[in-house]
Amino acid sequence: MPRKKTYFNWSSGKDSARALYELLKSDEHRVERLLTTVNAAYDRVSMHGLRRALLEEQIKAIGIPNLVVELPEKPTNALYESAMRQAVESLRREGFECAAFGDIFLEDLRQYRERQLEPLGMRAIFPIWKRDSKTLIEEFIDLGFKAVVICANADLLEREFLGREIDKNFLNDLPKNIDPCGENGEFHTFCFDAPYFKFAVEFSIGEVVLREYDCDGDKSRFWFCDLIPKSDEQGQT
């Protein structure tokens, strides 16, 4: 039986990298496209704040074409859903049957994704669903994946966690109330090397900034760590 043509919703972080690892071994699915949302105002990956130049280097290392969905600085839910629907409809016309995600245990998020995709004739799949977070992150390290923390909820994690590589020391230092994979949104990462990467993405650690957000009276604070692409670094010397 031919493998189902599948695209992967690629965030650039560790859970996406781990889930893609599982899919690449699959006898059922054939990943032929990655899909990433980018904040067009800042030219950075949505939520993570990663520079597009580093995303592009990461995609080269993986070797799978990437479809970028550009969003404005503050997209409404309706605008986001419209942009994603157009992208998925385009992929459906190309023969894609499945959409893959790196979610682990957030039931409401899974249901939302399935609800949005069903009318478009696209099946949602979750390669690492319900896997134990601690086991997942320990396997991530043991398998040779490399990732660095680039975004964190400032109400849950201190500034010192930004720019740190995900390793055993990092796990030991995490507060007990933080999911080891940051599945509740505690932190986000950039995966710069993996068993299936052709090369490790090179970068240096830049400035760490604190940003505050107010969404209908609901205030939040997030740390962001800027990663500098090697090419930019060389251009400044």
Last residue of a domain, one of 103, 125, 147: 125
Is-contact 49 29, C-beta < 8 A? no
User: 161 and 227: one domain?
Assistant: yes
* pLDDT for the residue numbered 232: 73
User: 86 and 167: one domain?
Assistant: no
* Orientation of helix 14-24 relative to helix 133-142, angle to 10°: 80
User: 111 and 151: one domain?
Assistant: no
* pLDDT for the residue numbered 216: 65
Task: Report the alpha-carbon distance of residue 199 to residue 150 in Å, rounded.
Answer: 20
User: 93 and 149: one domain?
Assistant: no
Q: What is the pLDDT of residues 21-69, one digit of tens each?
A: 999 999 999 999 999 999 999 999 998 999 999 999 999 999 999 999 9
* pLDDT for the residue numbered 234: 53
Task: Give residue 28's domain range.
Answer: 4-125
User: 138 and 117: one domain?
Assistant: no
Is-contact 100 9, C-beta < 8 A? yes
User: 120 and 143: one domain?
Assistant: no
Last residue of a domain, one of 79, 97, 125: 125
HEC secondary structure over 146-190: EEEEEEEECCCCCHHHCCCECCHHHHHHCCCCCCCCCCCCCEEEE
User: 143 and 103: one domain?
Assistant: no
CATH number, domain of 120, equals 3.40.50.620
User: 85 and 163: one domain?
Assistant: no
User: 171 and 223: one domain?
Assistant: yes
User: 41 and 154: one domain?
Assistant: no
Last residue of a domain, one of 101, 125, 149: 125
Residues of the chain whose pLDDT is less than 70?
215-217, 233-237
User: 27 and 51: one domain?
Assistant: yes
**Closest CA relative to residue 138, chosen from 162, 161, 167:** 167
The count of domains in the chain is 2
Which token pair is 115? 């609800």
pTM for this entry: 0.94
